[in-house]
Amino acid sequence: MQLQDILYTQGFGTRRVCAGLVQQGHVQVYQGSSLVQVDDAAMDLQAQGLRFRVQGTDWPYADKAYILLNKPAGTECSQKPSTYPSIYTLLPSPLRLRPQKAAVQGVQAVGRLDQDTTGMLLLTDDGQFIHRMSSPKHHVPKVYEVTVKHPLTDKQVSQLLSGVVLDDDPKPVRAAACEAVSALHLRLTLTEGKYHQVKRMVAAVSNRVEGLHRSQMGGLGLGDLAPGQWRWLSPDDLALLRA
C-alpha cells in the first residue's frame, strides 16, 4: 500500500494532505528500532505491523482502532455536546478523522456514560465490536463503583440481586453481582445497559447515587490510566473483553 494511502486510512487527512505531510518531511517510518526519513508519498509499504512517526508523534498502523479512555467528570459522550465538553476533544485528531463508509468519521463510543459518570469507556471504528459490546444478548459484564447518599442495608443489596422494577419496564431488572464495599460504597455488576440504569436501580431500593464510576468491562479494568487519558487496546485486552 502506498504511504499516502496508509496515512489516509489512519485519519491524517485527504490523500493530498497526506502526500504533503510526506513531501514536507513530517513523516518517518520505523525499520526495526530505527527511524527512516521518507519523502516519497507513493512508496509501497506493508501496512500490517507498520510503525511511523508523523510530526513528532509515533503511531502504529491499525486496520481498526480500539481505544480505552478513562472518562473524566463533566464531559459528554457526544460529537455535538449540549453543555459540557465532548470526550472526543480528549483524543488526537487522527482518531477523530479516521475515514469510514458511514457518514460519521472516526472512532465512536461503545455506549455512553452520563456527564457526571467517570471511568471506563471504549471507542472504536469497528461496528461489529460496538454491537458485541453493547448488545444485551452478549451479556458483557460492566462493573460500577457507586457512592450512595444513605448507608446501605442488607435488604437493599438483596433487592438489587433479586430484581427491581423500573418505571418503564414491568420486567424486573437484576444485578449480576452486588456488594456493599462499605456503608456508602456499592459495587454493582450489570450485563445490560438501560437508560440511567444504575441510578434508577438504586433509587428503586430507596437510596440515591451521589457518585458513579465504571471500573471494568468483561475481564478488563482501567489499570493505572488517569482521568482524561487514553491508550490503544492490545490483542490481550480485546481477548479479555470478548471472553
Residues carrying an active site annotation: 114
Burial level of 74, CB count in 10 A (0-12/13-18/19+)?
exposed
217 φ, ψ to 5°? Answer: -135, 135
- Best CA proximity match to 64, nearest among 147, 127, 111: 127
- Best CA proximity match to 92, nearest among 65, 131, 64: 65
CB 174 within 8 A of CB 163: yes
Report how far residue 180's alpha carbon sits from residue 215's, in angstroms, rounded to the nearest whole number. Answer: 16
